[in-house]
A and B are shown apart, each in its own frame.
Chain A
Amino acid sequence: MSFFDYFKTKKKSSASVAKERLQIIVAHERNTRDQPDYLPALQQELLEVIRRYVEIDDDQVQVQLDRNDSCSVLELNVTLPEEITDPQ
């Protein structure tokens, strides 16, 4: 990165960084709105179980409850790390 690139990204930064951060947190908070209180604990325990087998980060397990008229669906999303392929 050249000196001027550094300057440019820095100048562009604060408002657009603010926007990006907001988009992420707002989307997350909208998803967790009106979710049952036990979901965070459930998510934590699932994380622990999965970690016995695979090393994953906190945000790689997402739990969400979708309520419909007749039934509710508990959606569990686990993002596994990519297979570590050693180039050598």
Chain B
Amino acid sequence: MARIIVVTSGKGGVGKTTTSASISTGLAQRGYKTAVIDFDVGLRNLDLIMNCERRVVYDFVNVIQGEATLNQALIRDKRVENLFILPASQTRDKEALTAEGVQKVLDEMSETFDYLVCDSPAGIEHGALMALYHADEAIVVTNPEVSSVRDSDRILGILQSKSRRAEEGREPVKEHLLLTRYNNERVERGEMLSLEDVNDILSISLLGVIPESQAVLNASNQGTPVILEDDSEAGGAYADAVARLLGEERPLRFLDGQKKGFLKRMFGG
């Protein structure tokens, strides 16, 4: 039985796809057979971040509609063993994802995978609901910024009322906060909500803090999940988040990173 993890946020552009790519890569590196599934039908991007855009033949919707088998659609990652990508359709619309269809594919995948990571589209409409419906755990990606925190709170409400676990009255979806694009210098200047501020408002368990980092853009330019850039702060922070997801304890790092980096640059240290 696979554990199903949705990466969600409500607000767009906060780092869901970046996170889905790195968390799934990290789980596979740890030896778990993992698939990352793009639920952003019509706007697929995960293939680019995972550097498999030219290997896409069939997609999630093809599998749902019986036009391809799961094995035909799944793309095996070339760098990391145990890692597979199920791309979204570029041409269909989001309504092509039906609850029964998604259920059928996830059930089939559950038989052979340890983890299924679902990359949700932005918003709180059909596509996002389909992505979170079957989840056992949710990574709520949040930027330290008012509209993102508010949307995260709304998504938490939806997880608590509209997920399958909620509907069936089972143990609730396990919620994790992942604070991304964090800039400690700006927090210290009082220009950005701090980790503590966001925690006070959302009060769910913290999976990690990913610093705002140029390495993320560099990695996405090259189609590398940033967790594979293990000398980058963002990569290290994602590796810590994966460890915490697996129940290990890790101290928070990089919270004073930007400042040191800045001094280093200034003084060549």
Contact = CB atoms under 8 A, between A and B. Distances in A.
Interface in A14-70: 14-16, 18-19, 21-23, 25-26, 29-30, 33-34
Interface stretch (B95-103, B118-126, B147-155): B147-155
Nearest to A15: B190
Contacts of B197: 15, 18-19, 22
A27 B145 CA distance: 17
Contacts of A33: 157, 161
Contacts of B193: 15, 18-19, 22
B39 to A, nearest CB: 24
A22 B161 CA distance: 22
Main secondary structure of the interface of A (DSSP, over half): helix
A25 B161 contact: no
Contacts of B157: 29-30, 33-34
Interface residues on A, range: 10 to 19
B233 to A, nearest CB: 22
A26 B201 contact: yes
B194 interface: yes
B150 to A, nearest CB: 6
Contact of A21 (B146, B153, B154, B190): B146
Contact of A29 (B146, B154, B187, B191): B154
Contact of B194 (A15, A23, A26): A15
Given A15-B197, A34-B161, A29 B153 contact: yes
B200 interface: yes
Given A30-B157, A33-B157, A34-B161, A15 B150 contact: no
B106 interface: no
B140 to A, nearest CB: 14
Interface of A: 11-16, 18-19, 21-23, 25-26, 29-30, 33-34
Interface of B: 145-146, 149-150, 153-154, 157, 161, 187, 189-194, 197, 200-201
19 contacts: A11-B190, A12-B190, A14-B191, A15-B190, A16-B190, A18-B145, A18-B146, A19-B197, A19-B201, A21-B146, A22-B149, A22-B150, A23-B201, A29-B150, A29-B154, A29-B157, A30-B153, A30-B157, A34-B161
